[in-house]
Structures are given as structure tokens and as C-alpha cells.
Chains A and B, each alone.
Chain A
Amino acid sequence: MSDIKIKITDREGEIHEVDAPTDMNMNLMEVVRSYELAPEGTIGICGGMAMCASCQCYVKSDHTLPEKSDDEEAMLAEAFFVEDNSRLGCQIHITTDLDGLEVELAPEEA
């Protein structure tokens, strides 16, 4: 059992510091959902297949993240509100390297 700390700014601007388990095969989108930091139905719509951008977030800290897959790259090319530090939460696996990660959820697409 090893948890890491992640700082997540929700869509209302509120900051949450949460514990995320590294041994439950979770990704960042699932962490956000498990703490209900965004209403159900507005995040992780495609279930984590990098096929919608509802879990888009901006990475604020300078952690080294895994490279984007072609699918994530392509989805971000079609998403809205994309910035240079945009990632899809569902493609970021929770590992011990990510302790102290800071992210902000991107706005919900209208």
C-alpha cells in the first residue's frame, strides 16, 4: 500500500490535495472521479479510451510524465481549450514518480 499526494484544482478553482493509490492500476481521471472532484457524467465520458477530452487537465508541476500515445496526441489535437501542458487524465497512470503532482482540470466542453 503506497499512496502519493496529488494537488488537483477543480473546474471551480478549488484546490484539493488528495491521496492516490499506486497499487490499484488507477489513472488520474479515475482519481478525480473517485473523489468526485467533477460531476459524474462530465469527466471520463469515454471510460478512459482517449476518445473524448472530458478528462483534459493542465499539468502545473514539472514532473516527467510518460510520452503521449498517438491516440492521446490525436484527441488533444481535436479538443478545445488545449494548452502546451494539456494531458488527458485517463492516460496518466498513478506511479510513485508522480508524488506531489499538481494539475488543474480543463473547463468542460459546452
Chain B
Amino acid sequence: MITTDILIIGAGPTGLFTVFEAGLLQLKCHLIDALPQPGGQCAEIYPKKPIYDIPGFPEVLAGELVDNLMDQIAPFQPGFTLGERADTIEKLEDGTFVVTTNKGTKHKAPIVAIAGGLGSFEPRKPQLENLSQYEDKGVAYMIKEPEIYRDKKVLIAGGGDSALDWSIFLADVASEVTLVHRRNEFRGALDSVEKVQHLKNQGKIKLITPAEVVQLQGESKLEKVVVRKTDNLEEIELEVDNFIPLFGLSPKLGPIAEWGLEIEKNAIKVDNALDYQTNIPGIYAIGDINTYPGKLKLILCGFHEATLMCQSAYQRIYPDKKYVMKYTTVGGVTGFDGSKKEAPKAVVKAIE
């Protein structure tokens, strides 16, 4: 069981900055995120895109902003549970919460801060009639253990980086790799595109474009797929062991929607007059995932919400303590790792 003061669900910019504000109050944080790396949308969807409305940064790349936030919070030693999705929440008798992920990791904290953005990123699934019937029976949406494809006939669909990269990787593992894409052009790193071209010329990857998978067949497991060329509508039947559609990720509110929180317009309603608390005391929602009159889904608003939320969390954890806000310029920043940052002291010395 992982225990902490504030359990943050979502490691996007808002969740990360919460660690800093909590740290100033000597509160420890742990973050859960379904993605394998911190940064949320900034890292997953648009790391190379510039953002122009972060105060004090005329221009900053989304990926850089994440790197900066990670540096900024490092002294407060946040814990991370990455690549796991927060699934269930349970309130114990003493008022603390236990949040369990889809992989069974348990986290205990008196405060839960949901900074889940648009929800957790789930693989986009193609619209095929009997797709779910073959899930884990030949159909997978991400590759966790490449070894299970050894000497198998694998069909990958998609036109982005992951489709290209896995086709290249599996060319040496699987007995047969077929790559199917709706267009002739691929969107990926130039290097990957060239490598696939090379492997295709060598006969190690079979390329079918422009085409799409239209049907899955098989008794108890996937045995065959039907691929239709989109230019001449020719249908090709292929015997395969595995079909891996790699169409990117899309965010889903997911299990959080079942936690008994008040939901409006796919977002969690919070009290914006005070502290961004939800209808369940002790659970807060900050950043893009919350809604209130006048809500704007901006990173800078998430930072503000995180700051106020931490003050309220402190009062919940220590109802008897008085806290006076101190400027970092005055008080400096003392990390849990023993590091201390502070403004250089002025020198008091006579000039001869």
C-alpha cells in the first residue's frame, strides 16, 4: 500500500504543479497516470507545440513545460504510479481514501486531487463488428510483450509512428508482418518511414495500402482478416495470428465517472467559490477535468486551482493548525530531499 498526503490522479501540468504547492505546505504527493510518462496531453499529444499563455513564458514548448515542472517539483520527491489507471475509490472509516488501479496497486491518502484532464488515454479501437470477441485472442491495441509475437503472423494497422516502429521491430521477431494503412503516405519520423521502405524492399514487411481491415474471422481465436483496398475495393483474405490496430489514443473519463461525483458536461462539478472540492468532501477536482460557472480549460487556470486546493487540503489534514502563506522569495523552498533554495542574503558591510 502506497501512502501519501495528497493522492493526485493525473500527471499533467496541473497535477505536477500541485506537488510544488503541496510541498510548500510540507505535504507529500503521489501521482497516478494511465500514460507511461508524466506530462499528460502536453507530453502525449503535443510535446513539440508551442504554448504562448503561460505567464512569464512568451513561448514554451509543451514538452519543455513538463520538463520544467518536473525540475521544479523534484525537491518534493513525488511518487509516481505510471501506466496504470485509477479504477476504484473506497472511503475508510477514518475518512481516508484508498484508490486502486487497474493493475491492483493500492494508494491510501486523506486527500484525493483529481487532475485527470480529459480522462485517461485509451487506445482508439477500429469500428469492426466482432472486434471485442477477439480481444486477447489475437487482437491487442498495444504491444506489451513483443516476445509473444515470435514466429507469429502479425497484421498491424495504422499510419503513425507506433504502427511504423512496431512493424520495424516485429519484422525480426514475427514470421510475417503485414502493415495496412488507409493511405499510401505515412506520418512518422523520416527515419522510420525509410526503414519500413527498406524492409518492404527486402520482403520482410508486406505493405497493403491504401486499404483497411473490414472483417475478422476465426472460431475460438482470430484466424483470418479481410482487408479491403480502398482504391479498387478488392478484398484480400489473410491468415493471421494477431491483429494489432494502432490508431493512437483518445481520452475517456472512464471509471472516475462511477465514483459518485457530480458530473456535468463530461466534467466534474466543483465549488469554485472556495477550494475546488467536489460533492465528496476530501476529493477535489482541478484543471481541465472540473467545471464551474465561467470555467476555462487553460493550464494557467489549473495552476491557480491547484494552489487554492492545497490550502484547503492542508486545513482538512491539520484542522487545528494555523497557516500563514509565505512567499517563496521570503521563505525559500526547502525540499524533502534536504535541498534548500533561497534568495541570496544582502551583505551588511561598510564601504571604506
Chain B interface residue number, banded: 20 to 34
Q: B265 at interface (Cβ–Cβ under 8 A)?
A: yes
Q: A92 near B: Cβ within 8 Å?
A: no
Contact of A41 with B266 at beta-carbon distance under 8 Å, contacts A49-B49, A51-B46, A109-B250 already known? yes
Complex interface: stretch among B136-144, B180-188, B196-204, B325-333: B180-188
User: What mask results when residues 33 to 75 of chain B are scored 1 for a CB within 8 Å of chain A, else 0?
Assistant: 0000000010001100100000000000000000000000000
Contact of A45 among B125, B160, B251, B267 (CB under 8 A): B251
B118 contacts partner chain A, Cβ-Cβ < 8 Å? yes
How distant is B50 from chain A, measured CB to nearest CB, in Å? 11
- A 55-104 contacts with B by CB, 8 A: 70, 73-74, 77-78, 80-82
The smallest C-beta distance from A95 to any residue of chain B, in angstroms, reads: 24
- The docked-state distance in angstroms from the alpha carbon of A40 to that of B264 is 9
Kindly supply a per-residue 1/0 record for chain A positions 4-21, scoring 1 wherever the CB is within 8 Å of any chain B CB and 0 otherwise: 000000000000000000
Contact, CB under 8 Å: A39 / B266: yes
Confirm or deny: A37 has a beta carbon within 8 angstroms of a beta carbon on chain B: no
Indicate which residue in A45, A49, A78, A80 contacts B127 across the interface (CB closer than 8 Å): A80
Say whether B335 faces chain A, with CB atoms less than 8 Å apart. no
CB distance from A70 to the nearest CB of B (A): 8
Q: By the criterion CB–CB under 8 Å, are B159 and A41 in contact? A: no
| Given A41-B118, A78-B182, A49 contacting B265 (CB threshold 8 A) | no
How big is the A interface, by class? 20 to 34
Bound complex: CA of A41 vs CA of B158, how far in Å?
25
Least Cβ distance of A81 to chain B in Å?
7
Determine whether the beta carbon of A39 is less than 8 Å from that of B265.
yes
Q: Quick one: which of A52, A78, A110 contacts B125, CB cutoff 8 A? A: A110
> Does A42 reach chain B (CB closer than 8 Å)?
yes
Is B248 interfacial (CB-CB < 8 Å)?
Answer: yes
Contacts of A45 in B (CB 8 A): 118, 250-251
Nearest CB to that of A74 among chain B residues?
Answer: B187
Enumerate chain B residues within 8 angstroms of A51, measured Cβ to Cβ. Answer: 45-46
Tell me, yes or no, whether B146 is within 8 Å of chain A by CB: no
B247 at the interface (CB under 8 A from A): yes
The residue of chain A having its C-beta at the shortest distance from the C-beta of B246 within the complex is: A78
In the complex with contacts A109-B250, A110-B125, A49-B46 CB distance below 8 A = yes
Contacts of A80 in B (CB 8 A): 124, 126-127
Q: Does B253 contact A (CB under 8 A)?
A: yes
| Distance A47 CA – B46 CA, assembled complex (angstroms) | 11
- Whether the Cβ atoms of A40 and B187 lie closer than 8 Å is no
**With A46-B45, A49-B49: A78-B158 Cβ-Cβ less than 8 Å:** yes
Beta-carbon nearest neighbor of A47 in chain B: B297
Chain A residue nearest in CB terms to B183 = A77
Q: B residues within 8 A CB of A73?
A: 183, 185
In angstroms, how far is the closest chain A Cβ from the Cβ of B132?
11
Q: Which residues of B contact A109 (CB under 8 A)?
A: 124, 250
- Select which of B45, B247, B251, B265 is within 8 A of A78 by beta carbon: B247
In contact, A77 and B267 (Cβ under 8 angstroms) = no
A78 / chain B contacts, CB cutoff of 8 Å: 124, 158-160, 182, 247-248
With A41-B266, A74-B183 given, name 17 new contacts (CB 8 A). Answer: A39-B266, A45-B118, A45-B250, A46-B45, A49-B46, A51-B46, A73-B185, A77-B181, A78-B124, A78-B159, A78-B160, A78-B182, A78-B247, A80-B126, A80-B127, A81-B127, A110-B127
Which residue numbers of A lie inside 8 Å of B, CB to CB? 39-42, 45-47, 49, 51-52, 70, 73-74, 77-78, 80-82, 109-110
